[in-house]
Amino acid sequence: MADSDTTTRPRPPRREHRRRERADRNRPTTQELMRERLIESRLTPNAISLTGFVLNCAGAGLVVARLFFLAGVAFIVGSIMDTLDGRYSRMSGKGTQFGAFLDSTLDRLEEGIVLTAVAAYFAARHNEVAVAAVVAAVLGSLMVSYTRARAEALGVACTVGLATRPVRVVILSIGLVFARGASLGDFELLAPAVYVLAALTVLTTVQRIVHVHSQLAAAQRS
């Protein structure tokens, strides 16, 4: 009885199996569907870059207002937008040469604007050492970016050093979120963050100069 009640379904023919495999291969992936929707949308990489710039300007204003925690949040979100615009540009296919130029330019402005607000805060507290460290951090950050761009123009890859853009964002974010008066305990990490930022940017600049010199010298010898 048990054998008579048991039914077995016939396996699909090989042709049907192959047809299903071809259909699965031709089916668009989730990434491809997202890319198509992004292309159809009105969102542009430049709009993302400008949004990040506005958020960083808001963060600078919040630093002046001594609202450090909110300033840190605005700076973090704005910096995340700066990292998304490039990926979105590549994924959506909407990137342009001017968009890449605008993105790099706004990145430098955003960092300088927020650090200028931090310098104004330390100046109001008559902390000349911290103000000098902020100036060094601004110059160092600019030189880190410039040395890479100039090296790449000479045909030398130059990504050495610790003070890359993401690392600088993390250091300054920690300093803002855990600054005195940020309502996250009795911390004062803004000044130490600025000192670390200044030291690392100067060190990275020197590392990149040495790296480019060694690469160009090796190319001349070969």
List C-alpha distances in Å: 3 to 6, 7, 9: 5, 8, 14
CA distance 116 to 200: 18
| 103 — pLDDT class (breaks 50, 70, 90) | confident
pLDDT at 89: 72
Comparing 63-67, 96-100, 145-149, 214-218, the range with the smallest average pLDDT is 96-100
Active site residue 24: no
Instruction: Say which DSSP state 66 is in.
Output: T
pLDDT score, position 87: 74
Query: What is the per-residue DSSP string for 80-92?
Result: HHHHHHHHHHHHH
Which of these is catalytic: 82, 85, 103, 107? 107
Burial 66-98 (b: 16+ CB within 10 A, else e): ebbbbbbbbbbbbbebbebbbebbebbebbeee
Tens digits of residue pLDDT in 132-156: 999 999 999 999 999 999 999 999 9
Q: At 12, is the pLDDT very low, low, confident or very high (cuts 50, 70, 90)?
A: low
Q: Looking at residues 69-78, what average pLDDT do you find? A: 94
Is the pLDDT at 23 greater than 60? The verdict is: no
Which domains does the chain carry? Answer: 29-221 (1.20.120.1760)
